[in-house]
C-alpha cells in the first residue's frame, strides 16, 4: 500500500466510508485507499451465509434498511435489489407475546380490554395523571408521560436497563423517540415508506460499492499502526471512534456493544418472526433474532433454523456499537469535535466518528453530504 502519495485515505469500510470511497472513485474519478481493521467490509452491516444452515445472517445484529428519503432509496438501489420485507417486532413478557411497538393491540392484550382508538387517550391519561409529570426531562419520565407506568415497566424499563445498563432516568429522551407508539393496530416498526433487505444481502452492496479500479481496499489494517506512514497531503476521512483518534486525550467516551450467541434449533421456524424482544430484566438477553424471516423469498431448510440471542454489555473501545448519549458523554464529545474543527486534513464522521445513534439512512445521508464538501474542496 502506497500511503505517502495517496490523496484520499478512508478509514473504515462501513456505510460511511464505502459511500465516500464510491463517490470519490465514480464522481471525482480519483484514486482512494480504504482500510479496515476487520477482516471484512461492511462494518456492522456485514452479513454472511451461516455455514451449517445456509441462512444469511447479520453478524452484528439484524439490520433493516428503512428510509423516508427517495434520494437515499434511489442511491442504495444502485447497488442492490431489495426484497419486500417490512419490519415487525414482538415482545415476550411473562410468557405472553405482545406486539411491539406498543399499539392498540398491545394495550388491549395487556389490560385485557377492548378499547377503540378514540378511547385510548382517556384510558391512558388516568394512568399518566397518577404520576404527575408535567415536564418530562428524561427517558423514564417521557415514557411514563406517554403510556403510563404499567406499560412502561412491562415493555420499556427492563429492556432499556439491559440495553444501556443505566437507570432510564439518566438517559436522554432522544433514545425513546426511536421507538414508535401507536393508538391503532398498525404493527409496522418503521413509518418509512422505503424498506427492505438487500436480496443478496448487505455484503453484496458493499462489494458493489467498492468494486472499482480506483478503489484500493486493505482489510486487517489498523489505522493506528499505519498512521505515521501517511503523507502530509493525504485527506484522512476517518469513521472510527473519535476518542481513539485523539488517543483519548480528554478521556474515554462510553460505548455499548453486543455479544451474540448462535444456536441451531431442529425446527423449521422457532419464533415466527425475525426479532422477538424480551422486556423482563430477569431474561438475560434483550432479544432473539431468527434471520430466516428476513428472507421469506428464499428456500431455506425445513429441518433446522438459526437463532441468535443478543446480550448487551459495556465496550472497552474495541467493538463499539451504541454511543451512551448521557450528559457526561455529550460534554466530552463537544471537546473532541472542537479538536477536529482545528484540523485541516482530517474529516471525522459516521456513527462512531460523530458519536451519534445513526440509522443506515442517516449514515448514508451524512456521507453524501461529506462527499459534497470534499468535492468542493477538491475543485477549489
Min separation Cβ 217 and ligand UDP, Å = 27
190 in catalytic set: no
- CA 367, 370, 374, 380 dihedral sign is positive
Selected from 67, 103, 106, 163, the binder of ligand UDP by CB under 6 A is 163
Min separation Cβ 379 and ligand UDP, Å = 37
Q: Which of 38, 182, 292, 351 is catalytic?
A: 182
Decide the pairing of beta strands 305-314 and 287-289: antiparallel
Q: What angle do CA 272, 274, 279 make, to 5 degrees?
A: 90
The C-alpha torsion from 40 through 41 and 43 to 48, rounded to 10°, is: -70
Cell of 330: 455529550
Positions of E strands within 27-115:
32-35, 47-49, 56-58, 65-67, 89-93, 96-100
Min separation Cβ 105 and ligand UDP, Å = 15
> Binding marks (x or -) toward ligand UDP, 271..310, rule CB under 6 A?
------x-x-------------------------------
Min separation Cβ 164 and ligand UDP, Å = 6
182 in catalytic set: yes
Min separation Cβ 175 and ligand UDP, Å = 5
Q: Are 296 and 199 in contact (CB under 8 A)?
A: no
| Neighbour-count burial for 157-189, b at 16+ CB within 10 Å, e otherwise | bbbbbbbbeeebeebbeebbeebebbbeeebbb
- Could you say whether residue 116 binds ligand UDP (CB under 6 A)? no
- Could you say whether residue 155 binds ligand UDP (CB under 6 A)? yes
- Could you say whether residue 44 binds ligand UDP (CB under 6 A)? no
Selected from 159, 190, 300, 355, the binder of ligand UDP by CB under 6 A is 159
Q: Which residue stretch of 45-53, 175-183, 246-254, 329-337 sits at the interface with ligand UDP (rule: CB under 6 A)?
A: 175-183
User: How far apart, in whole angstroms, are the C-alpha atoms of residue 177 and residue 156?
Assistant: 12
Cell of 298: 428464499
Residues tagged active-site: 178, 182, 256, 287, 310, 357, 359
The residues that touch ligand UDP, with contacts defined as CB under 6 A, are 91, 100, 155-156, 159-160, 163, 175, 178-179, 277, 279
Amino acid at each position: 500500500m502506497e500511503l505517502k502519495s495517496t490523496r484520499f485515505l478512508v478509514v473504515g469500510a462501513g456505510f460511511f466510508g464505502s459511500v465516500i470511497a464510491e463517490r470519490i472513485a465514480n464522481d471525482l474519478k480519483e484514486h482512494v485507499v480504504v482500510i479496515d481493521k476487520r477482516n471484512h467490509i461492511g462494518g456492522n452491516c456485514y452479513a454472511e451465509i451461516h455455514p451449517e444452515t445456509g441462512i444469511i445472517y447479520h453478524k452484528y445484529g439484524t439490520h433493516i434498511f428503512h428510509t423516508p428519503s427517495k434520494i437515499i432509496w434511489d442511491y442504495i438501489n444502485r447497488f442492490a435489489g431489495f426484497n419486500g420485507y417490512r419490519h415487525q417486532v414482538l415482545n415476550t413478557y411473562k410468557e405472553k407475546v405482545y406486539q411491539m411497538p406498543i399499539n392498540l393491540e398491545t394495550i388491549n392484550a395487556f389490560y385485557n380490554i377492548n378499547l377503540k382508538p378514540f378511547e385510548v387517550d382517556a384510558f391512558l391519561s388516568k394512568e399518566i395523571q397518577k404520576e404527575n409529570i408535567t415536564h418530562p426531562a428524561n427517558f423514564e419520565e417521557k415514557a411514563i408521560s406517554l403510556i403510563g407506568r404499567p406499560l412502561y415497566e412491562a415493555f420499556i424499563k427492563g429492556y432499556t436497563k439491559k440495553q444501556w445498563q443505566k437507570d432510564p432516568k439518566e438517559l436522554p429522551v432522544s433514545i425513546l423517540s426511536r421507538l414508535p407508539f401507536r393508538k391503532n393496530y398498525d404493527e409496522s416498526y418503521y413509518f418509512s415508506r422505503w424498506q427492505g433487505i438487500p436480496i443478496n444481502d448487505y455484503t453484496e452492496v458493499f462489494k458493489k460499492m467498492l468494486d472499482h479500479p480506483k478503489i484500493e481496499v486493505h482489510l486487517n489494517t489498523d489505522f493506528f499502526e499505519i498512521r505515521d506512514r501517511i503523507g502530509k497531503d493525504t485527506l484522512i476521512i476517518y469513521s472510527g471512534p473519535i476518542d481513539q483518534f485523539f488517543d483519548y486525550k480528554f478521556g474515554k467516551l462510553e460505548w455499548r456493544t453486543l455479544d451474540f450467541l448462535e444456536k441451531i434449533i431442529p425446527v423449521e421456524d422457532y419464533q415466527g418472526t425475525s426479532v422477538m424482544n424480551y422486556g423482563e430484566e430477569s431474561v438475560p438477553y434483550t432479544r432473539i433474532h431468527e434471520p430466516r424471516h428476513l428472507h421469506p423469498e428464499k428456500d431455506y431448510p425445513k429441518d433446522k433454523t438459526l437463532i441468535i440471542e443478543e446480550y448487551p454489555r459495556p465496550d472497552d473501545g474495541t467493538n463499539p456499537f451504541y454511543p451512551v448519549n448521557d450528559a457526561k458523554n455529550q460534554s466530552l464529545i463537544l471537546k473532541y469535535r472542537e479538536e477536529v474543527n482545528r484540523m485541516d486534513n482530517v474529516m471525522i464522521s459516521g456513527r462512531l466518528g460523530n458519536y451519534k445513534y445513526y440509522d443506515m439512512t442517516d449514515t448514508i445521508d451524512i456521507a453524501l453530504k461529506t462527499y459534497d464538501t470534499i468535492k468542493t474542496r477538491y475543485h477549489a
